[in-house]
Amino acid sequence: MCVSRMHTMGHSGMVGEVQAQQAATAAVFTAHPAKKMSRIEAMPGLPNLRRLREGSPIMRAACPTSADAAEQEAIRSKLGVRSLVDLRTADERLGDPLPYPMWDSVVRVRQGTVHSPPVEEASPQDTIEEGVVLYNVPLYTTRRIMRWVLLNAPLWEKPQLLSSLPTVLGLAKPDPDTMQVYNSSLSRHGLKGHNSFLLSSCGPQVCAVLQLMCDQSNLPMVFFCSLGKDRTGVISMLALHCGGASRDQIREDFKRSAEGLAKVKADVMQSLEKKGLDPEEFISARAEIVDEAFEYLDAKYGGVDEYLDSIGFGAEWRDKLAQVI
């Protein structure tokens, strides 16, 4: 399903109906190998920020929840953003919410479908056509990745994981101890396993994010997860592929997260360890992670384009994204 920019209606602050975006007209795909990859852009409060390509209206970053009031205003004014795309889970957003002054309205996208937010999540303003739209597009839920960990755990580890089955089934809320056990198991699969899970299990959400990038009314856009490296990195790999970037360029873009997170690396590693994740693995921005993701797509789907076809982001959509990037 195509998702597009939303507008509020009436005085309730509720988001109005989705305006269906027309399919892109057929166009000849033109790669832009001469375009330079973007340098890291310094922006206080928005770590790991960079454009997908030099001059591109689409930017990737880490979550800006630590930005103070002045930094929030600078992010809006200097970058001129019209939309923010939050790839984090609902649990992550609840624990570390994005400050309201950074956005004017909220749109939730689940399974590739747009949902109007409840009144308490919506903007108090009546008209936000010129404002910043925050799209909440969780690529996966906490329980979905817990189910994947349980199914893919070695036999000797399953009894401990099964002790938290009510949480996996959604009958209980995940607590820190349970998440530490599951994150420890996830660490055995590393980023290779995490990215394989994301690509194979979250196709509608991946497609929804890529479609949002194609909507000119959403641009300029910043999309982000917690660190702006893994979930954001997978989306960036696919978007850059659509834009004609070479595999070497995509590797270089991914590796830039090491520089982008350098100032917060110690704090991030401490946080990862506290959560039960392998800090060395999950802070890594090595180029091999890109190769592993594309090798997975080649082996399972026959290639990146074939994967994108399978999730509904076909050739016409890819042509449209290539023109934007």
Tell me the pLDDT tens digit for each residue of 299-312: 999 999 999 999 99
Q: What is the mean pLDDT of the chain?
A: 85
* Cβ-based neighbours of 54, under 8 Å, separated by 6 or more: 35, 36, 37, 38, 39
How many Å apart are CA 125 and CA 9, to the nearest integer?
A: 10
Quote the percentage of the chain above a pLDDT of 90.
Answer: 71
Q: Which of 277, 91, 112 is nearest to 170 (CA)?
A: 91
Q: Which two tokens stand for residue 175?
A: 């607590």
In what order do the strands lie in the sheet containing 113-115?
A: 50-51, 58-61, 221-224, 83-86, 133-136, 105-110, 113-115
Residue with tokens 């994010």: 209
Radius of gyration of the chain (CA): 19
pLDDT at 77: 85
Q: Give the mean model confidence (pLDDT) for residues 165-186.
A: 95
Residue matched to tokens 């057929």: 26
Asked whether the predicted pLDDT for residue 14 surpasses 50, the reply is no
**Both structure tokens of 266:** 């110690």
Residue 18: pLDDT band with limits 50, 70, 90: very low
For the chain, the residue count is 325
Give Cβ neighbours of residue 181 (< 8 Å, ≥ 6 apart): 160, 161, 164, 276
Q: Is residue 99 within 8 Å of residue 72, measured between CB atoms?
A: yes
The C-alpha angle with vertex 47 and arms to 104 and 201, in degrees rounded to 5, equals 75
pLDDT digits (tens, 9 = 90+) for 99-151: 888 889 999 886 555 544 433 343 433 334 568 999 999 999 999 999 999 99
Answer whether residue 325 shows pLDDT above 80. Answer: yes
CA 300 to chain CA mean position, Å: 22
> Which of 31-35, 152-156, 218-222, 313-317 has the least mean pLDDT?
31-35
The values of phi and psi at residue 106, to 5°, are -120, 135
Q: What is the mean pLDDT of residues 56-62?
A: 96
Q: What integer pLDDT is reported at residue 269 of this predicted model?
A: 95
Residue 72: phi and psi, rounded to 5, are -60, -45
pLDDT at residue 32, rounded to an integer: 41
How confident is the model over 245-263, as a mean pLDDT? 95
Amino acid at site 69: A
Q: What is the share, in percent, of the chain residues with pLDDT greater than 70? A: 81
